[in-house]
Chains A and B, each alone.
Chain A
């Protein structure tokens, strides 16, 4: 156990009148490398430790209604014992001012072993750098710049109910910009374009990364040939890249306990999410483990075990997920802040979904599906407009719509693909969208 966490655990015993506490310690050791046009721009090391202390006080009103107040604070290793104690007393005082409906902290001791995978940040950093260097760059497509962040994270949770769990895991980010250019750009003429990706993962999956970036080079080459998106009556949009995660995240959030308690989600257990749907049935499963996810740990930060289960199965909500507070308000005995999720594939293969008239958008400025409103928007940076027998490569304009409109006929492929913490269908087909053309 870290020295800081030890000190806080001892000092918290000196705070009078507390009804419960939760301590979450996180230490993070990271290496970072920044590259511009193949040269090392800067290297960085980070070394941090923090403990988040959350203190709880019970109260009861004259009518007998019980409340649980809480407040939290972040504590650093540079605080003296006296400063920590003063901070804890401030937090305790503030907890007394907050009145939330009563709930109890996690009291089920994790029945899974501590996950303390050693992380060699030097090796993982080297894997990323070598993978990028080995890419088949040429005069027309190459990597403009990239940033590698590799961290070893150790997290420990302790609470006043005796729950204690420690895990260590790797967490990586690759921020990448690729260029594609016309042949004549070397003469000072012609165009150069860029595409951007931010890829998160546990460690470096070299083969997957090469595949992703090679695909990006191809998109770049196509974007140079793109024409302005024309006005069109087509209302079908296909998504086949990381952007589709946004869409599935909407459904995951509808099953979040806080969304349910706050009445943002209208989903009810055992009641289908919509009537008369003609699209593929939606099945979404919470996972306790997912290889190479940046959050591959089986116990959440509150010390609750994340159970593998369907959140939604065949369009029917089965299980909400979330923090202890909001799960408790829904009357659930167990909680769990789910990070890793898989969406089951649909009936059709991806080739079957790519039929008829549609636009397949593979690059957006920033594709968004608002998890509260269900509004869908994105400016098209690269799309393929399929109309009759013709396929036009297009750029510019936008797509917009709403979950309410696309849900009835939403279809997705039987093939699936992992994007960090999410496994989703490779191809998603949405009808009822609006496409705003440029010309």
Chain B
């Protein structure tokens, strides 16, 4: 069925139009983003169960962006724009003026930016989803998730608990200016199975499996398959040793490949960082940053995932950018204000954590292209190295092109064969061009993952997805 656009947002459109008109008397650019996203969050474990209609992306509010004397300002609120639009207009103006008074007192100059283009555009998009979160059969969902948790307790060795969680949000967003009227509605869903057990030293080891995608609660059906992988993986984790620190030939599973894509040339080419002089990528456009096997795409249209929208939070239509083509860095991704400052075009990557947060350049789907090698040939080609599986976390370093990836486990390869030895956890570090420059093989298959969230530094959490094929390269493991 189509994910129906919010009746609430449709209902406040005329008030928002009036607000835009009023503010346009004082400001030379006015836009409004209004959101009404409903969803669920369900967590089932052996020790506790919780159900909420609130998750990371549920929200209802309005963000007004205005420009005057070259300065962009925003006012975000979640009270009604309908009750007294004149008073709302006066309140916005008064508070922004008070802020500017403070800025004047501190003697701070303004970073002047041109007026955003505002060509006429109308768009109304309602994407497909089978089971909408707001109509969830909660009885059935809780029973399904409890079944997975109970089964986990039966089949996973030494398990202390198996926690199953589900998040699903039906997102509705409305973007308006004098000339633009864009509406979109879509649903994303993600589910995870986390099981934990102690090893002989008393250290807790975690198995993690997730499913996600653009769609409704039907996506959670895949959780059953994730549970099937858990017993073997947990056995491996419980017996795991530590890697001897050093540089190794490695094979990254699609999940780990995605983490590299995200941390290396995801964050590395977010062009709001170019504006601040915080990204080395700005100096490498047109230059080699990887081997011929490295081609990378980024964009809400690149794949269907948790972040596949029709337009971003600044009203720019979604795109699909080739960031790296056969090892050559072609371009970055850009929000609308950064694009004005850099004299380039926005790519549909202006995202907010929610209506109350500022826009930054953010990733959507960040994916390495496939190759033609087989995983078996990759393993056979390695004298001593590791096959890395299970993504835990990563950290970007756009200024210096360092990379930190924390990976759940490494499967040792010796003389072209898996030895059965497993190490865990593994910290992979390196210099991004070295890591990508050493990519020598890639498989034809490609997967994309969208569980969890991505921060900018240590805040501004948004949904992203990343992935790619199995890659063979070299990295430092510790």
Contacts and interface: CB of A to CB of B under 8 A. Distances in A.
B72 interface: yes
A34 to B, nearest CB: 7
B8 to A, nearest CB: 7
- Chain B: number of interface residues, binned into ranges: 35 or more
Contacts of B74: 42-45
Contact of A366 (B45, B139, B196, B393): B393
Contacts of B203: 373-375, 402-404
A1 to B, nearest CB: 16
A133 interface: yes
B105 A398 contact: no
A47 B160 CA distance: 43
Contact of B52 (A36, A73, A375, A396): A73
B75 A52 contact: no
A59 interface: no
Contact of A263 (B105, B160, B275): B160
A264 interface: yes
Q: Which of A35, A95, A368 has the most CB of B within 10 A?
A: A368
A365 B397 contact: yes
B54 interface: yes
Contacts of A255: none
Contacts of B45: 262
A173 B460 CA distance: 12
Contacts of B242: 400, 434
A41 to B, nearest CB: 5
A97 B139 contact: yes
A111 B152 CA distance: 45
Given A40-B71, A72-B52, A77 B47 contact: no
B51 interface: yes
Nearest to B54: A74
- Chain A: number of interface residues, binned into ranges: 35 or more
A114 interface: no
B404 A379 contact: yes
B204 A264 contact: yes
Interface in A70-89: 70-74, 76-78, 87
B98 A368 contact: no
Interface stretch (B107-115, B165-173, B315-323, B370-378): B107-115
B106 A129 contact: yes
Interface string A363-386: 001101000111101110100000
Interface stretch (A193-201, A305-313, A414-422): A193-201
Interface in B192-222: 196, 198, 201-206
B105 A126 contact: yes
Nearest to B92: A45
A45 B76 contact: yes
Given A35-B108, A100-B48, A264-B160, A78 B278 contact: no
B96 interface: yes
A137 interface: no
Given A42-B358, A46-B76, A436 B278 contact: no
Nearest to A99: B49
A93 B51 CA distance: 11
A122 interface: yes
A73 B275 CA distance: 40
A379 B139 contact: no
Interface of B: 8, 45, 47-54, 58, 60-61, 71-80, 92, 95-96, 98-100, 102-103, 105-111, 138-139, 142, 160-161, 196, 198, 201-206, 242, 245-246, 275-278, 356, 358, 393, 395, 397, 399-400, 402-404, 406, 425, 427, 429, 457-459, 476-478
Given A43-B100, A48-B356, 19 more contacts: A36-B111, A45-B76, A46-B77, A47-B76, A48-B78, A70-B51, A77-B78, A94-B138, A144-B277, A177-B276, A193-B399, A264-B160, A264-B196, A266-B198, A366-B395, A374-B203, A379-B404, A400-B427, A404-B202
26 contacts: A33-B99, A43-B96, A45-B76, A46-B76, A47-B76, A47-B77, A72-B52, A74-B52, A78-B79, A97-B51, A99-B49, A100-B48, A193-B399, A261-B47, A365-B403, A365-B429, A366-B395, A375-B203, A377-B427, A379-B403, A379-B404, A397-B429, A397-B478, A398-B429, A402-B203, A434-B242
- For the complex of A and B, 10 pairs with smallest distance between CB atoms: A436-B478, A436-B245, A366-B395, A379-B404, A39-B111, A365-B404, A74-B54, A365-B395, A71-B51, A73-B53
